[in-house]
Structure 1
C-alpha cells in the first residue's frame, strides 16, 4: 500500500543590521530588531497560523488517518519564543494529537556539517533538547539544513543514534532509480534514507499558483491520481517543503490550503495512507544502498552547495567563520553562543550568492552580493575579536580546553563545598534550636524552691495594747 510522507520545515531568518567598519570593537549588537519582529509577524499572519490551523483540522477530521512531520531550527524556535509564542502553542496542540512527528536538525540551520563534525553534533543535540522541552518527543530522524547530505554526514547521523535521514531525490544521484523507495547509507547500513520527490513537492511549493505553468491549475484529485498511478512496488512518496510554501510562496488567495485539505480525502478513497518518517523507517525495508560521495542538497538545479559556497566571497566568509568553531564550542560562553548560532545561519551565505537561479533571493537590506559580504565580514571581524579577547590566540585549542576544563572542575568542586558548608550550617542551626527548646522545657518543668514569707502572728500583748 502506498504511503505519503508529508514534511514541513520551520526556520526564521535572523536579519542583521547595517554594521560599519568603524563599529568593530565598539558595538557588539548585530541585529535588526524591527525587521526581525516585522518579518516574523508577517509570516505568522500570512502562513504559519492559517496553515497550522488547517493541518490541525485535517488531523481531527481524519481521525488519526492523516499524519505529518515538522522540524524547527533552534534559531527559529527562539524567534517564535520572542515574537510569536502562539505558533509554538499551536504546534504543541498538533503534537498532542499523536499524528505529528518532530525531527532533528542543526540548531542554527547552518552549514556546520560541511566544516566541523563536533559543532554539527553539538547543534543537533541542542535542538533535540528544545524539541523534547516543547513537544515531549525525542527525535529519531534527522533532517540537515536544506536536506544537505553525503555518505560522511550519514555516518555522523548514525553515530548520533538516528534511525533515518531525509534528503533529496536528485537524478544525478539516483540515476535510473526511483525516489519512491526506502534506501540506506552506503557507509552506515542502519541509517535509512527517505528521499524527496522533487517534481511533486515543487508542484505544490513552487508552481501551484503560477498561471504560466503547464500543469496549472493543479487539483487535488488529479494530484492524488498521479500518486495512485505509480507502479505498485513504489510505495513511498516524500513531499518535503518549507511551511512558508503555504501562504508566502503560494499565497492564500491561490486556494493552496483548500487544495491541501482535499488531498487526504482523495488519498483515502484510493487506498493511499499517510505515514511519519519514523513509521516509514520502521515498516519498510531498504531496497539498496545509496552512494552519495559528494554533497547533496535541495537547492537550485545543481542540488549541491553552490548556493552558499559557490564564489570566493562565500568561501572566504565560511572559512573565517569556522576557523573559530572549536574555540567557541570549548569556551561555551552564552552570549558568544547565541551570536555564533545566528552568524552560522545559511541565509547569511545565500545573500552573497552570485548565481542565476529560478528561485529569487530576497537580500533584505543588501543591494548586492558584495554588499552582503562586506556587512557580514564586518560583523564577523568584531565577533572573532571578542573570541580572541576572551581567550588569546596564543593559547591553542588543546591548552584552552585543558585550562577551561580545570576551571570548570574547580568551579564544580567549590560548588560542592559550598553546598556542604550550607548543609553543615543548617545542621548547626537546627542543633542550636533544639538546645534552646530543650533548655526552655527543662526550666518550665523544674519545681519552685522559693518560700513565701510567714504570716505575722498577733500576740496577746499587741492585742491588749490596741485596746
Structure 2
C-alpha cells in the first residue's frame, strides 16, 4: 500500500503595535491586542471550527481510515486559549477519534534552530509539554518552523528523543532521488526523515484556484491519478500546507471543500492508497538511505532556503540583537519576560522585513502590517531595545548593584 500522510500547519504571531522611539523606556507593552484578537477570532469562526467539524465528519464516515496530523505553534495555542477556547475543545474532540496526531515544533515558531541551540531545545520542550498537557499526546515527530532543516539541526532533534522529523523535499538537496520514501539523518541515522512532496502540496496550496494554471481545474480523480502513477516502488506521499489553505486561500466558491471530501473518499476506497500519520509511517516503513543537508533548507519560496528571514542586513541585524540578549533572559528567570521573549521570536517579525517580494512576484507574502521592510525593522528594534532595558533591570547583577547603592545611601545619611 502507498501511504498518504496529510498534515496541516497552524501559526499566528502576536503582532506588535506601532511602537515609537519615544515609547522606549516609557511604555513596556508591545502588542496589538485588537488586531491579534480580531484576527484569531475571525479565523476560528470562518476556518478552524468549520474545518475541524469537516475532518471529524470524514473520520467518522470512514470508520477511522482517514488520518491527519497538525503542527500548531505555542503562540497560536495561547491565542486560542485567550481569545477563543472553543477551538481547543474542537481539537480535543478530534484527538478523541484516535485519528489525529500532533507534531512538535518550536513554541514560538522561531528561528532559534539556526541561532541558539539552547534556546531551540528550551522551546521544543515547552511546546512538547504544552501538547502533552492539552491533548494527552507526547509528540514523536518534529516539524521545525517553516520546515527548516539541516544535518546538524536533525542531529540535535535526535538527541532530544524524537523518532522522526519532517522537512522539505527540496530538489537541490534530493537531486535524482524521490521525496516519496523514508530517509534518515546523515549524522544520526536513528532519526528518520519524512520529506514534503512540494509539488503535490503546492498544487493545492498555491495553484488550486488559479484559473490560468495549465491543470486547472484540479479534480480529485486527477490528483489521485498523479499519486498512483508516480512509481510502483514509492511508499509515502507527505502532503502539507497551511490549514487556512482550505477556506481562505481557496474559498468555498473555488470548490475546495468538495475537492477535499471527494479526495478522501477516493483514497479510502482505493486498494493501493491509504492515509496514515507521520509517527505510524516512521514505525512501519524502513529508511532507504540518508539525506545529506549541509546547509539549512526550508519550504519557503523557490530557493527553499532561509533568505525570506535572513536575506538582508535589516533581518540579520535584528536577529543578532535578539539572540544577543538570550543570556540576560536566562539570568533573569522572570516568567513574564520569558512570555514576551517567546512572542518576539516568531519568524513572522523577520519576514516582514524581507525585501524579496519587491523583485519576485511569486513570493507568497502573508498579511504584512507594515508599509515597508524598513518600517518593520524600526518598529521591531524599538521594541527590542525597550525589552532589553527592562531585562537588564531584572538581572541579579543589576539588582545587586542597585541594592549596594541603596545601602550606601542609607549609611551616608546616618553619618
User: Given the two structures, how large is their TM-score scaled by the length of structure 2?
Assistant: 0.93
The 5-angstrom pairing of residues 61-210 of structure 1 reads: 61-210=61-210
Aligned match for 2:380, one of 369, 376, 383:
376
Q: Which moved more, 1:149-158 or 1:357-366?
A: 357-366
- For the residue of structure 2 that corresponds to 1:149, the secondary structure is coil
**Is 2:48 the counterpart of 1:48?**
yes
Separation (CA, whole Å) in 2 of partners of 1:174 and 1:248: 32
The 5-angstrom pairing of residues 238-257 of structure 1 reads: 238-257=238-257
- For the residue of structure 2 that corresponds to 1:179, the secondary structure is coil
C-alpha change, 1:90 and 1:38, in structure 2 (3 Å) is same
Matching residue of 2:287 = 286
Separation (CA, whole Å) in 1 of partners of 2:197 and 2:364: 22
The Cα shift of 1:363 comes to: 5.1
**Is 2:311 the counterpart of 1:307?**
no
CA RMSD of aligned residues (A): 1.5
Separation (CA, whole Å) in 1 of partners of 2:330 and 2:242: 29
**Is 2:376 the counterpart of 1:390?**
no
- For the residue of structure 2 that corresponds to 1:6, the secondary structure is strand
Separation (CA, whole Å) in 1 of partners of 2:83 and 2:261: 28
C-alpha change, 1:394 and 1:90, in structure 2 (3 Å) is closer
Structure 1 residue runs of 4 or more that deviate by more than 6 Å after TM superposition? 392-395
Tell me if the contact between 2:301 and 2:364 (Cα under 8 Å) persists in the aligned partners: no
C-alpha change, 1:123 and 1:138, in structure 2 (3 Å) is same
1:207-240, CA deviations, whole angstroms, 9 ceiling, x for partnerless residues?
1111111111111111111111121110100001
Select the structure of larger CA radius of gyration.
Answer: 1
Question: How many positions carry a matched residue from both structures?
Answer: 396
C-alpha change, 1:352 and 1:393, in structure 2 (3 Å) is farther
**Is 2:5 the counterpart of 1:5?**
yes
Matching residue of 1:458 = none
Separation (CA, whole Å) in 2 of partners of 1:14 and 1:250: 24
Matching residue of 2:345 = 344
Tell me if the contact between 1:119 and 1:329 (Cα under 8 Å) persists in the aligned partners: no
Separation (CA, whole Å) in 2 of partners of 1:330 and 1:391: 6
Separation (CA, whole Å) in 2 of partners of 1:172 and 1:361: 23
Separation (CA, whole Å) in 2 of partners of 1:296 and 1:239: 17
The Cα shift of 1:362 comes to: 4.4
C-alpha change, 1:20 and 1:392, in structure 2 (3 Å) is farther
Tell me if the contact between 2:328 and 2:392 (Cα under 8 Å) persists in the aligned partners: no
The 5-angstrom pairing of residues 361-440 of structure 1 reads: 361-362=365-366, 364-391=368-395
Separation (CA, whole Å) in 1 of partners of 2:332 and 2:46: 40
Q: Which moved more, 1:277-286 or 1:250-259?
A: 250-259
Separation (CA, whole Å) in 2 of partners of 1:318 and 1:214: 40
Tell me if the contact between 2:66 and 2:268 (Cα under 8 Å) persists in the aligned partners: no
Gaps of 5+ in 2: 401-415
- For the residue of structure 2 that corresponds to 1:193, the secondary structure is strand
Tell me if the contact between 1:169 and 1:198 (Cα under 8 Å) persists in the aligned partners: yes
